[in-house]
Structure 1
Amino acid sequence: MPELSVKAIKGRPVAVLGGGVLGRRIACTWAAAGYTVHIRDPSLEQRNSAIHYVEQNVASYAKTISSSNLGKATAFEDLDAAVKDAWTVIEAVPEKLQLKIDTFAGLAKLTKKDCLLASNSSSYKSGEMLEKVDEDTKRRIFNVHYMMPPDNRVVELMTDGFTDEAVILFYVERLKECGMSPIVARKESTGFVFNRIWAAIKRECLTVLSEGVSTPEELDRVWVEMFSGGKAGPCGMMDAVGLDTVAFIEQHYVKERGLPTKDTVDFLQTNFIDKGALGGKSGKGGLYPAGYTTKSSGEGSSHHDNLHSPTLYYLDLGMNATEDIMHAGKIVAQSASGKEPKTLVSNLTLPDGLDISVKDNRIYWTNMGIPSENDGSIQSCRLDGSDVKEVVKKGDVHTPKQLIVDQQNNKLYFCDREGLRVIRCNLDGSEQETLVQRGDWKIKEDTQDSLRWCVGISVDNQRGYLYWTQKGASKAGKGRIYRAKLEIPSGQTATTRSDIETVLTGLPEPIDLELDEEAGKLFWTDRGDPPMGNTINSIDLRDLTHVEDASDNPRYNVLAHNMHEAIGIKLDKRNQHIYATDMGGFVYRFDMDGQNKKRIVDAEERAFSGITLAHV
């Protein structure tokens, strides 16, 4: 193969095939060291998520290696375009051997003869992937398995049995320049170096659990005290990686060495995998309950924690501005672990509600405008805050409040407070239609009647309902939650529709709504007076009926008290958490039952409104 040199690779991209949890971290590692990175993934949502991850984290990666020359990541759907002129391609596709064999066969034809082809697989030896490549290509193929950058920088390299020795030596030096800690296996081995030891540890831990000798909590506590310096234990790490992945990897050792499966693969399959309890990624927990591997600020975490933690996006109303407070609003993005807040968009006019579509690479939000004027608007931007566009122009909506993206049908739903209505439109603002009209905003008496103000919004596509709040006067105890069918009955209008039901009334001051369709529960914030106000609340949708007054209200649950003018709410269904904001400058995280209250953001001089999240 051609001689390897730094000069020969200068200006050429690093290509990463797969934009998942590990693929995007590999990409960020190389971008932080100044390389141009191409991420190839067939999923549009994965491509957008991967690029957003790199944009949000590349600076912090670079800081740890004192790099000031940041590279840029670009996403591709087409494999040919992604690997064109690459000096190395790192395969991080799903762990299916035939897929990897076919991938390397394609790369042999698409890449230059000096392009180094690496597999990130820890389950398969690269020597098992050579079925369709020629002898020359075999010399440039090898394993290069990353643990979990940036916190764990170990990278294991291993020959495919034919790899040119110079290839491994050259790659080791490039990895060191990226701040990685490369370890080279001296010969082919299923599981490399560390992973063989780690596999034995996992195997014995699972046997201990299968036999009922201990619990995940006790086992991890012993491990943490004895070995890991106060960080994660093996059970927590297995949940973070995914129990299906743990079982898949173990099957390779079983096949190669004839190991028993009763207390490992079979134990996981029967008790967890068959039930969909795959660990942190499943929303159903695993060895631990859902959300265990998601840590917030102040909690000890390891490199396997927060892998499935969301990025939070919340609105700062700009109350800490020294001038022009009415136009000082911001969109802030921040990891749910409480680190790395970043302002994406500034100079907003009282922003109130927002949601995100990773698939479309857009954030959408409402600007209330000046409440006494008819100058509200809805805008959108890319996930990085660029390309700000007007979706609903000023004057086409009066005072827009909570907004949600109907991911299933590519629609925006939002409430218009002084406009006294609930509205739906396409993501580009077209086909705007009023679904509910509670008065005439042109009539002063109607506009000033706070009992008509529509504020919070949620959509239940599964059952075919639209929910919204009408909050009433501040802390007056006259707030209500309504519902109606998603489509106006034939022959009726938004004003005359007869299917509107009052499902809760006499509430202190209900604000934003959130729905868990699968669990059949409705959640909302209330900024009214205690004890029922300044709370997070929920109700089972099966309990809802039409009510006339508060004495008819079905029983609902007050999950959390002592908020400071509670506003925004968003459910993290993967980790079974509730996130909420308030006007007191706090962002909170709760369990779904309201327990384990954590403050993610504590900024008393600020005021927050809407919040949303995405797993990127």
Structure 2
Amino acid sequence: MASWELPSPANRPVAILGGGVLGRRIAACWAAAGYRVHIRDPDAKQLTGALQYVKTELWRYKPTVSADRVDVEGFRDLAPAAGDAWLVVECVPEKLGLKIDAFAELEKATRPDAILATNSSSFKSRELTAGVAPDTARRILNAHYVIPPDIRTVELMTSGSTHEAIFPFLQHHLRASGMLPMVAHRESTGFILNRVWAAIKREVLMVVSEGVASPEEVDAAWTEMFIKHGVPPCELMDSVGLDTVSLIEQHYIDERGLRDPGVIAFLQSYIDQGRLGAKCSKGGLYPPGHCTKPPGDEQGPYDNLHAPALYILDIGLANEPGGAFKKGRILLGSADGEAPLRTLVDGQPMPDGIVLCLAAGKMFWTNMGTPGENDGSILSSDLDGGNVQVIVTPGTAHTPKQVAVDQDCQKLYFSDREGMRVLRCNVDGSAVETLVQTGSWRDDGFRDPTLWCVGVALAPRERMLYWTQKGPSKSSQGRIFRAAMDMPAGATAATRTDIECLLAGLPEPVDLEIDEDSRTLYWTDGGELPRGNSLNRVSLDAVDNSGSADGAGGYEILVRNLHEAIGLAIDKKNRHIYATDLGGAVYRFNMNGKDKKKLYEDQGSFGGIALRDR
């Protein structure tokens, strides 16, 4: 291709193939510098998460352009994502066959001047050209990012025939996007940094697998001697993922004819147990959640990669007096407490419950409305707060509280406090139906708080619905109930006979969450000390086996001394609990209630909370 010329980035995008942990970060680097960016991922949930990451976390990348110039689009199909790109960066899983196929598809889908790069951390780009023509191979190279924004290094390496002009050209644009580009002077499996890291990693795994030392001891010694404030090797492997570490190690062994000292089998023992590292609920070399670090903890560049973003409701009562009932906000924060709280939606009449549906790319929240008035509503918006729509009109529910979503069936479930019922509807607000009716608000709504329905949670696998009825203030008449998510044949919301009371005599139970894996029910409770203003849990197996319809199975108080506890969300991957209170604090706890961390305080009067992977 003697006539080949470098592409012009003008009016053409950078395309990122894969919206995972690294793909979305690469996209953010380019977007922060004002480049057009396309993200392609066939998984709708992954794609939505990637787009939201770029929009909400861009501040971490020190953008050089204003927010209105950030241009990022998502695609599930390859052709519209990469067809006009001047640069494509492939971030598909570290499997040779997948990558070869990806470049064969790119050859057909892209313009003939497009530069095609792989972010592979172990494969030479030469190995990925098996399915393309020689002229296309000259446009292919490695562009290995480490972990932006904390580490800005990008290693560039030839495919063996890459046009020499590509390297200074990319170096120029990478510097413009805030990166530190380095060119490997010759082909090398592992490039520069990873080749050195591979030797360290292999010996560390041998030390651990042979029982010479534990992961914690290795990392403590490494930190003390080498980096003190850096990333220890075992934490780093957990953050990357032990399945990925295993694939890379196997590639080194195969290519170099190395003798495996038992490292692959050692890693496979973790993988077989589902212990892949920080990206899964079973952890890896360390327990789950170890690499999620809040304020006050020493944070490295690989910490918090898998920590969620926090969507927090400010009811509005802490704002200035006068019209306080229409000062509610939806705020966005981070699990490390590092991101300043940012307003996504404001002017809401006392928002209370919030839930996200990534497959639909939407968030949903309830507005309680004006106290005493029958004007509650449910709204939706995009995850960045745009495209706000009323989906359940004011008055359809009196005082809607917590809301839950059945992700598979695309149904919203919500409680109605003074309306004394539990309802559900489609995610567009249609087909509203009452599932549980405990009374009539016109007759009993303000006279009998024992009938008030407040919290709601779902166990979709068992098709069970759970809710709280809080009772009068500080009366210890609160209860938790459950029934089938689907109405029994011939029954009505007021006459169904499948309702069970699981727990009674609670101070003032508010929001609910269920961990179906451990069959554990969690809830926040108002009321007064010693049992109120608390975070609690009960084993559903213990309740089921108690032999009592009124919930004599007992429960466990995990956390006390909250300030009017309200919102509750479980991070099932990192094994953390997030809670809010009207006193204006957002907390994080381990699943047993220990290791209390205060992430935010004195910036609102907080209600519901929801989580999104970053």
**Match 1:319 to one of 317, 320, 325:** 317
**Residues 81-96 of structure 1: pairs in structure 2 closer than 5 A:** 81-96=80-95
1:278 to 276, 279, 292: 276
8 Å Cα contact 1:33-1:70 kept in structure 2: no
For the residues of structure 2 that align with 1:196 and 1:452, how far apart are their CA atoms? Answer: 65
- Give the distance between the partners of 2:132 and 2:485, measured in 1 at CA: 56
> Is this contact kept in 1: 2:502–2:549, CA < 8 A?
no
Q: Report the Cα distance in structure 1 between the residues aligned to 2:31 and 2:5, rounded to whole angstroms.
A: 21
Q: CA offsets per residue over residues 2-39 of structure 1, 9 Å max, x none?
A: 56568x32221111111111001001100111100011
Summarize deviations over 1:138-181 as a string: whole Å, max 9, x none: 21110000000000001011000001111112111111111111
> 1:457·1:467 contact (CA, 8 Å) conserved in 2?
yes
Q: Distance in 1 between matches of 2:4 and 2:447?
A: 78
Aligned CA distance change for structure 1 residues 277 and 493 (closer, same or farther; 3 Å): same
**Cα 1:68–1:410 shift into 2, 3 Å:** closer
Q: Which amino acid in 2 is paired with 1:10?
A: A
Q: 1:514: Cα distance to partner? A: 0.2
CA distance in structure 1 between the aligned counterparts of 2:106 and 2:460, rounded to whole angstroms: 43
Query: Kindly tell me: are residues 510 and 169 of structure 1, through their superposed partners in 2, closer, same or farther at Cα, counting changes over 3 Å?
Result: same
Residue 460 (structure 1) shift: 1.3
Letter in structure 2 aligned against 1:295: K
2:377 and 2:396 in contact (8 A); partners too = yes
Does residue 45 of the first structure (1) align with residue 45 of the second (2)? yes
Q: Is the 8 A contact 1:502 1:547 kept in 2?
A: no
Structure 1 residue 262: Cα displacement: 3.9
2:515 aligned partner:
516
Q: Which residue of 2 aligns with 1:329?
A: 328
Structure 1 residue 580, shift from structure 2 partner = 0.4
Displacement of 1:456 in angstroms is 0.4
Deviations 1:400-435 (A, max 9, x none): 000011112111000000000000111111111111
Deviation at 1:297, TM superposition (A): 1.4
Cα distance in 1 between the residues matched to 2:611 and 2:512: 15
* 1:533 match: 532
Q: Which runs of 5+ in 1 are unaligned?
A: none
- Given that 1:469 and 1:482 are in contact with CA atoms closer than 8 Å, whether structure 2 keeps it comes out as yes
**What corresponds to 2:479 in structure 1?**
480
Aligned equivalents of 2:453 and 2:228: distance in 1? 52
Cα distance in 2 for partners of 1:71, 1:372 equals 44
1:28 and 2:28 are equivalent in the alignment? yes
Structure 1 CA distance for aligned equivalents of residues 422 and 547 of structure 2: 21
Letter in 1 for 2:158: T
Over 3 Å counting, the alpha-carbon distance change for 1:430 and 1:67 in structure 2 is closer
Q: CA deviation at 1:58?
A: 2.1
**Cα distance in 2 between the residues matched to 1:94 and 1:202:** 20
Task: Pick from 276, 293, 297 the counterpart of residue 299 of structure 1.
Answer: 297
Give the secondary-structure state (helix, strand or coil) at the position aligned to 2:223: helix
**How is 1:318-397 mapped onto 2 (pairs within 5 angstroms)?**
318-322=316-320, 323-340=322-339, 341-397=341-397
CA contact (8 A) 1:506 1:549 kept: no
Whole-angstrom distance in 2 between the partners of 1:10 and 1:299? 43
Question: SS of 1:326's equivalent?
Answer: helix
Shift of 1:94: 1.7
Separation in structure 2 between the aligned mates of residue 238 and residue 585 of structure 1, nearest angstrom: 37
Identify the residue that residue 183 of structure 1 maps to in structure 2.
182
Structure 1 Cα separation of the partners of residues 289 and 522 of structure 2:
19
2:19 aligns with 19
The residue number in structure 2 matching 1:72 is 71
CA distance in 1, matches of 2:89, 2:184: 18
- Structure 2: where are the runs of 5+ without partners? none
Distance 1:594 1:274, change over 3 A: same
SS at structure 2 position matched to 1:52:
helix
The alpha carbon displacement at 1:359 in A equals: 0.9
Number of equivalences: 610
In 2: Cα distance, 1:578 partner to 1:413 partner: 21
Distance in 2 (alpha carbons) for counterparts of 1:472 and 1:45? 39
Check conservation: 1:220, 1:235, Cα contact below 8 A. Answer: yes
1:195 equivalent in structure 2: 194
1:93 aligned partner, one-letter code: V
1:61–1:542 Cα change, 3 Å: same
CA distance in 2, matches of 1:35, 1:66: 10
For 1:112-191, list aligned pairs within 5 A.
112-191=111-190
- Give the SS at the match of 1:476: coil
Q: Which residue of 1 aligns with 2:60?
A: 60
Q: Tell me the SS of whatever aligns to 1:190.
A: coil
RMSD: 1.7
Q: Distance in 2 between matches of 1:300 and 1:199?
A: 25
Quick check: 1:440–1:447 contact (8 Å CA) kept in 2?
no
Partner amino acid for 1:530? L
Any conservation in 1 of the 2:405–2:413 contact (CA below 8 Å)?
A: yes
* Distance in 2 between residues matched to 1:3 and 1:589, nearest whole Å: 55
Q: CA deviation at 1:549?
A: 9.1
**Counterpart amino acid of residue 233 in structure 2:** P
CA distance in 2, matches of 1:311, 1:68: 19
| Closer/same/farther in 2, CA of residues 374 and 108 from structure 1, 3 Å limit | same
Letter in 2 for 1:42: P
Q: Secondary structure at the match of 2:311?
A: strand
Q: Which residue of 2 aligns with 1:615?
A: 613
Q: 2:235: which partner in 1? A: 236
Deviations 1:173-207 (A, max 9, x none): 11111111111111111111110100111101111
Deviations 1:349-398 (A, max 9, x none): 00000000111010000000012010000000000100001110001110
Q: Tell me the distance in 1 between the aligned counterparts of 2:460 and 2:27.
A: 37
Q: What SS does the corresponding residue of 1:331 show, helix, strand or coil?
A: strand
- SS of the residue 1:53 aligns to: helix
Partner of 1:495 in structure 2?
494
- In the alignment, the residues of structure 1 paired with residue 464 and residue 59 of structure 2 have an alpha-carbon distance, to the nearest angstrom, of 44
* 1:348–1:67 Cα change, 3 Å: closer
Q: For each residue in 1:470-489, what CA deviation from the matched residue of structure 2 results, as whole angstroms up to 9, or x when unmatched?
A: 00011111101111122222
CA distance in 2, matches of 1:71, 1:612: 26
Rounded Cα–Cα distance in structure 2 between residues aligned with 1:349 and 1:328? 7
Change beyond 3 A, Cα 1:216–1:45? same
Report the Cα distance in structure 1 between the residues aligned to 2:218 and 2:441, rounded to whole angstroms: 63
